[in-house]
Structures are given as C-alpha cells and as structure tokens.
Structure 1
C-alpha cells in the first residue's frame, strides 16, 4: 500500500510538471472549460458527431488529481424524464457479417499497470473483485471525465482504448458522449486511471460520436459512444502508447459465451474491478428496457457505465476482444446489462476510426 501511495504521488508530480510545461497562463488565471462546436445533425442510418475544440493548456490545468478524484460517476446523476422512458422505442438490432478487429500491443510500452500485483489464473466465474492482475487491460481500460452545463462539477464513466485505423479511438457508453439535452464542454480519457492518478497521461477528445437512435429515442440498444483523442501535449497516438484491445461485431451470443467485464464501480470509482462468467438473457421485467445480454455481477457496488465486455479474454496477457459496453442495471441489481454490437454500432466505430486525428 505504501509503494502504491508513492506511485500515485510520483504520477501526481509528473502531471504537475506536464501541466507546467504546457501552460503559459498567467499566475492568477483560472481554468476555463471551452465550449464545443455545434453537434452536426444526423438522420437515421448516420452517426452524430460533435467536434470538441479543447485547449491543451486549459485541459491540463483543469483536470487535476483532486478534481478527478472528486468526480461523481455519471450514473449517479438524476435522469431527465426523457431518459427515464428509455427503451420505449426498442427495435430489432440489425445484424450483418461477423467482423473481428485484432488487438494491438505496443512494442515499447509495458503491459503491466500500477494495479498489477499478482499473476496466475483467477476463479471463474467471479461475481465482482478488484483486478490485481497483469496485462494490457491495466493500461487500455480507464476513466472518462467530462463536464456539461447539465451536471454540477465533474462526472465520470468508464472507457477502453481499442485498435483502429487512426489508433486514437475510445469506446464508452452513449450517454458519456451524448447527454442528449446538453452539450459536453470538456472530455478527457485517463487510461489506467486509479486513485487520482493518470499514469499514461490525459487524452482529450477531438470528436465525440453517438447514434441517432440513442439521441432521439434514448434507446439502450444503441447506448454506445466513441471518441477520437489526442495526447496532452499533442504528439502521441493512443494505441501506440497504451495499446488497443480488439473489437468485434455481429458475433454469436446465443448460446451465451464466457465474458469478462472491467470497470470502476460507481460507488468505488478509484480502483479497477472485474466480473467474469457466462452471459445470460436479460432478467429484467417490463417496464424496464430489455437488453440482449446480461452478466451476473453481484459484487458490483452501484452501476458500471461504459465498461468493456470482453470475449476471449486472456488473464495472463490482459488482452481480449471488446464485444459490448456495459450500460448499468435496472430492477435486477445483481446483473449488469449490455447492448448487442451489431451493424449500427459498427457504423459508429467505423466513423470514429476513419476520422482524421491531429498528429496522426
């Protein structure tokens, strides 16, 4: 625990030096959160895109370790009536040809994060435990921090770096890239986040992606979002730095496969946790929205939003294939739910991975 604390302090100092290096603000200047550009309109079949014009100097100054630690999990925010009726417009999820994008492990980067203290196989299934294993998961899964006029202060959800053409894509929950009724004014990703520490630096969003089916109807079957990010200071690519998990679409989920879920519990947001087991049918009953898959995860303290679901996860290497994103739970609190990665979510991913990124 003592070495863990020292590591956090070292990272905090590193971030402070980084902020000092990129800041040219006057001594009395206060951090300001820049407003994003207008969200481009989208019709069904397209993807909504919002460009974020963030100043790296302001972002580095604003997202201090203290502010990250104080961020509330987005799932704790009150839902608007529009969001409470989510799922009322559920439709059949369009499915196409199975597609798998293979993961990328950076040649120079270590594959053990600050939480890695043990190796070896863990119990399977596991209903929810801290992840103290080794591997790429420690540096590709992290926390998304954002601000918006719709919320007071900073809020957080989970995210994961995935392999992509531009090597700069983060997948998360749809409501973490599109709050529907309010713009997002600042958005950063901290891969490997723990205890206020961002050991691989902060990565700020340049574009946020969401589906019209989520924005228009708040349909949880399409509650997946993506972001393209750049480093602070600019010059590095996300996947080249921390690696990228694989991602798959239109996979067979009946019979249900074995899956791993990684995320930060909404009531314990400073440490990475996981659940593992065979996915099951959604046990919730109407009027709760119905999702195509669920995972028994009684150890989750609160909701798990934006957390990656992995197929073929290897506990030794921490590498797997992201096949869904967790959206939390409803009336059955012991189960975490996830949408199906079909054609429309593949459209979302393709739009993000083909977007130009500064420094590419």
Structure 2
C-alpha cells in the first residue's frame, strides 16, 4: 500500500499510548535466558538506531527504530505494531531521536511524516507482516541519513546469521545490545535468545557484520512474551516488496 501520511503532532492521550504498548506484546516479564544484553557503547553505526517517542525525545517512549538507506535518505524501519494496530489505529505525534543517550540527543529529533505497512497488517494485524517503513521530515533542510548514515535492507539471507541487536528499553536511558545468531521459528519468522529485551525494544534492528538489517524485533507475539527470546518477521521477498513500495 502507499505510504500513509501522519497528521501533525497533536496531544496523544496517555491512555492511547498505554493501549498501544499493552497491545504490542513487546517482551516483558518471564525469566531471562543467558546471554544477557549489555549497555551498548556509542559508535557511528549505533547512532543510526534511536528511540520512537511522542512529541519529543523525553516524551513517552513507544519503540526503537533505525535508519535504512533509501533514495530519499529519510527512511526508518521498525515494527508495524510500534506505529499502528487495530486497537488504537495510527499513533501520531511520533519523533525519532537517533543516538539518544542519557537525555542527550546528539542529532536532534526527526518528526515522523508517513508510514508504509503491508495491507495484511493494516487490515488484520497479521504477525507475519509486523514491519513498517517510516519516513521522517528533514531538519534544517537535512535528511536523517545525511546526519547518521543508513544500513542496507538485507532480504533473502535465510536463518543462522550472526547479528547484533541494539535497542532501547523503556526503563533505561541507554541502549542495550547483544551479539547472537538467528534461528528459524517458522518459515516466515525468526528468533534469537538473549535476555534484557523488555518494553521499548520492539523495532530494534538485527544487523549483520556487513551492515545489513535482516530483522526487527516484532512478528510472533509482537516481539516475544519474555525478555529472553525475541522474534522477527523473516526478511524475505515480502519485505523487499514493502521496501520498494515505501521508496517509490
């Protein structure tokens, strides 16, 4: 489907955001499994990852997102349930803050402009299509990819990949990260096991050593019901097609 424009930022009720997060199924509760994620040290590659929050960097957190390369140089990838679901609809007023850490926003905040989700997600919250591409508005005439760079979208690479997964738990002002290997959950879903991925980490990118995003926390159980196991839609032809729609 074509990108859907997001209305200008307006007051978003706490109840609406709470409902979105409760419906999101981001990993929470349960027992952590070894290994456990550690605080992510700053790096240029990790500065492409940031928070999705309401109105400003210190506003209520929704999820994690990251910059991916696009012709418009203004594109993020995250989980679809981070920005829209059947219960709440489209969550507006979102901003992206790349490299956020301890109250500091080194690259400023970038207002969400439009989203692209698959019709199967828009119509029925199908967990096999829990991925969204999000454009952000320029800041002072500069696109977000010009500020922090962008990773490539990697599709058709299968399972068993070594990846790093960096994201922002809602209860922390620093990102966490874990180096893991992906596994098959089903023909359309993948998973990894590492503790610490609690509320807020949905949308965290799964990045290979050569800088390709091959998953985002979401999909089955909208990311996972415990912080020790996380899921993603398999990045296959469906995601390649969705990316193409988001960039044309």
Using structure 2 for the length normalisation, give the TM-score.
Answer: 0.80
Partner of 2:214: 323
Contact 2:205–2:213, Cα closer than 8 Å, also in 1: yes
Contact 1:202–1:231, Cα closer than 8 Å, also in 2: no
Contact 1:201–1:231, Cα closer than 8 Å, also in 2: no
Q: What CA deviation, in whole Å up to 9, does each residue of 1:199-253 have, x standing for no partner?
A: 10111122111111112221221100111112334x0011111111121112222
Partner of 1:262: 166
Distance in 2, matches of 1:129 and 1:73, equals 27
Q: How far does residue 159 in structure 1 lie from its aligned partner after superposition?
A: 0.4
Partner of 1:146: 54
Closer, same or farther: CA 331–187 of 1 in aligned 2, 3 Å: closer
Unaligned runs of at least 5 residues, structure 1: 1-46, 63-69, 85-124, 148-152, 283-288, 314-319, 355-360
Runs of 4+ in 1 over 6 A off after TM superposition: 72-76
Distance in 2, matches of 1:312 and 1:73, equals 34
Q: How far does residue 322 in structure 1 lie from its aligned partner after superposition?
A: 0.5
Q: What CA deviation, in whole Å up to 9, does each residue of 1:118-137 have, x standing for no partner?
A: xxxxxxx9531001153322
Partner of 2:41: 132
Distance in 2, matches of 1:155 and 1:144, equals 6
* Higher RCO, 1 vs 2 (CA within 8 Å, ≥6 residues apart): 2
Closer, same or farther: CA 133–188 of 1 in aligned 2, 3 Å: closer
Q: How far does residue 176 in structure 1 lie from its aligned partner after superposition?
A: 2.1
Partner of 1:50: 4
In the alignment, structure 1 residue 343 sits paired with structure 2 residue 226: no
In the alignment, structure 1 residue 78 sits paired with structure 2 residue 22: yes
Contact 1:172–1:226, Cα closer than 8 Å, also in 2: yes
Distance in 1, matches of 2:133 and 2:168, equals 18
Distance in 2, matches of 1:212 and 1:146, equals 25
Partner of 2:65: 159
Partner of 2:174: 271
Distance in 1, matches of 2:187 and 2:200, equals 17
Unaligned runs of at least 5 residues, structure 2: 26-33
Partner of 1:311: 208
- Single out whichever of 127-136 and 209-218 deviates more from structure 2: 127-136
- Single out whichever of 125-134 and 222-231 deviates more from structure 2: 125-134
